Amino acid sequence: MRQNKCFALLECECVALTSKRCLGKCAFYKTVEQHKAELETAFARIAALPFPLQRYIADQHYSGRYPWIPRPPRKGRFPASTYHLQEDSR
């Protein structure tokens, strides 16, 4: 069933609509992949705007956060692939 693949279904409830029941014929239906691609496109457009406008969007829609700006990894939380361990040359 296609409704099981919708990005807005969370534990059998729709989080995109005010009606919590999914009837399977929704104009908002998107797969998770489609939703991610649309977010990436939207974030790229926002990132191209002047910073004062980005700040306004962040304040109005994202509680002051800037999700379109990639954050560097936190100190001490680098993925294992970033560590280049050298063998002891003894």
pTM of the model: 0.64
What is the CB neighbour count within 10 angstroms for residue 53? 10
Average pLDDT of each block of 10 consecutive residues along the chain (90 residues)?
Answer: 68 80 78 91 94 94 91 65 50
- pLDDT number for residue 78: 54
pLDDT at 29: 85
The pLDDT, as a whole number, for residue 16 is: 82
| pLDDT in the model for residue 11 | 79
